[in-house]
Amino acid sequence: MTFPPADAPGLFIAFEGGDGAGKSTQAALLAQALSDAGRTVLRTREPGGTPVGEKLRSLVLDHGQGEIDARCEALIFAAARAAHATQVIAPAVARGEVVITDRYIDSSIAYQGVGRGLGAAEVQQLNVWATAGLWPELTVLLDVSAEEGRCRRTATEAAEDRLESEPDHFHAAIRQAFLDRAAARPERYLVLPAGRPAGELAATVRTRVLQLLAAREAGAA
């Protein structure tokens, strides 16, 4: 695996987790806290984040596009990610910004690699190629059970997309896939129970990210 060089001025953070985990809320709270602390923050999401990525997003998530088989689905997510990594994330990190993305490679490994059964290693390889090996320095995993995620999604009343409407056993496999990723590289992950109060989760995330930034700046001094 390759990461942004240790002396890259910015920081790249991903939020991951099952549907209904509250990633967007936590990404927004972290972005606000870092802006308040005087950092330039770029908040983005996948699939999407570029004009081509947003088109690919509706292609792969909206119902009624005709059959999309698993390999095609994995390639669409990877194509959107290639544009996102090259056009948006890498340049912002190089400019010294903190990039916060709602989902990244781990989502493809969990949903397409494990959920769709394409194989975690194969999907990882595809995505390393697509992103030229750009990985986040920290991934915040908001851990949610399939049942809790479904309840939280239902409560918001938004229509479910193609992936969200998969059954609970699909979401349970995805949850385990995320946890396995985090267990394999604990220094790169912050795993939090999504059911805790939003303010408490936000404080834990903020503390970890500020520590990371302080360590980075101490190293650069």
Residues that bind ligand TYD (CB under 6 A): 19, 45-47, 61, 77, 103, 107-108, 111-112, 161, 163-164
Which of 45/206 has CB closer to ligand TYD? Answer: 45
Report d(CA 149, CA 216) in Å as an integer: 35
Which of 163/202 has CB closer to ligand TYD? Answer: 163
Which of 15/189 has CB closer to ligand TYD? Answer: 15
Which of 108/219 has CB closer to ligand TYD? Answer: 108
Residue 79 CB, nearest distance to ligand TYD (Å)? Answer: 11
Virtual torsion, Cα 83, 89, 91, 93, nearest 10 deg: -170
| Residue where the block lists tokens 């948006």 | 88
Residue 40 CB, nearest distance to ligand TYD (Å)? Answer: 24
Report d(CA 170, CA 174) in Å as an integer: 6
Residue 52 CB, nearest distance to ligand TYD (Å)? Answer: 15
Report d(CA 9, CA 174) in Å as an integer: 33
Which of 41/118 has CB closer to ligand TYD? Answer: 118
Residue 156 CB, nearest distance to ligand TYD (Å)? Answer: 9
| Short-list 77, 65, 153, 159, CA closest to 116 | 77
Residue 77 CB, nearest distance to ligand TYD (Å)? Answer: 4
Which of 37/132 has CB closer to ligand TYD? Answer: 132
Report d(CA 36, CA 130) in Å as an integer: 33
Q: How far is CA 194 from CA 5, 25, 99, in A?
A: 31, 11, 22
Q: How far is CA 219 from CA 17, 62, 91, 162, in A?
A: 31, 45, 22, 44
Report d(CA 141, CA 162) in Å as an integer: 22
Whole-number CA gyration radius for the chain? 17
Residue 86 CB, nearest distance to ligand TYD (Å)? Answer: 16
